[in-house]
Amino acid sequence: MSLSVKELLSIGERRLVDAGIADATLDSRLLYCFMRNIDRSRLILMYQEIVEDRLCDEYFRLVDDRASGRPLQYITGIQEFMGLEFDVNENVLIPRQDTETMVEDVISVIKDGMLRGDKLENVRRREWDILDLCTGSGAIGISLAKLLTGVKTSVTCSDVSKAALEVARKNAEKLGVHKNIKFAEGDMFAPFVGGFKRKKFDMIVSNPPYIESGVIPTLQTEVKDHEPMSALDGGADGLDFYRIISRDAGNCLRKNGILFLEIGCDQGNAVKEILAKAGGYTDVRCLKDLAGRDRIIYAMLGETGK
Ligand code: GLN
Atom of ligand 1 nearest to the CA of 93: 6
Name residue 89's amino acid.
N
Helix (H) or strand (E) holding 50: strand 50-51
Question: How many Å lie between the centroid of ligand 1 and the Cα of residue 54?
Answer: 38
Mean pLDDT (the chain) is 96
Question: How many Å lie between the centroid of ligand 1 and the Cα of residue 208?
Answer: 8
Atom of ligand 1 nearest to the CA of 99: 1
Question: How many Å lie between the centroid of ligand 1 and the Cα of residue 136?
Answer: 12
Question: How many Å lie between the centroid of ligand 1 and the Cα of residue 210?
Answer: 6
Indicate the top mutation candidate among 92, 93, 133, 206 to test ligand 1's pocket, ranked by most ligand atoms within 8 A of CB: 93
> Whose CA is closest to 281, among 297, 264, 262?
297
**Minimum CA distance residue for ligand 1 atom 7:** 209
Residue count of the chain: 306
Atom of ligand 1 nearest to the CA of 210: 8
pLDDT in tens, 95-115: 999 999 999 999 999 999 999
pLDDT average, residue stretch 286-303: 95
Question: How many Å lie between the centroid of ligand 1 and the Cα of residue 140?
Answer: 14
Question: How many Å lie between the centroid of ligand 1 and the Cα of residue 50?
Answer: 41
Question: How many Å lie between the centroid of ligand 1 and the Cα of residue 42?
Answer: 34
Map residue 216 onto helix, strand or coil. Answer: helix
pLDDT in tens, 163-210: 999 999 999 999 999 999 999 999 999 999 877 678 899 999 999 999
**Minimum CA distance residue for ligand 1 atom 9:** 209
Ligand 1 neighbours (beta carbon < 6 A): 93, 96, 207-211, 223, 232
Could you tell me which residues come within 8 angstroms of residue 291 by beta carbon, excluding any fewer than 6 positions away?
Answer: none
pLDDT in tens, 71-82: 999 999 999 999
Tell me the C-alpha distance between 155 and 138, whole Å.
11
Q: Report the predicted TM-score, pTM, of the whole model to 2 decimal places.
A: 0.95
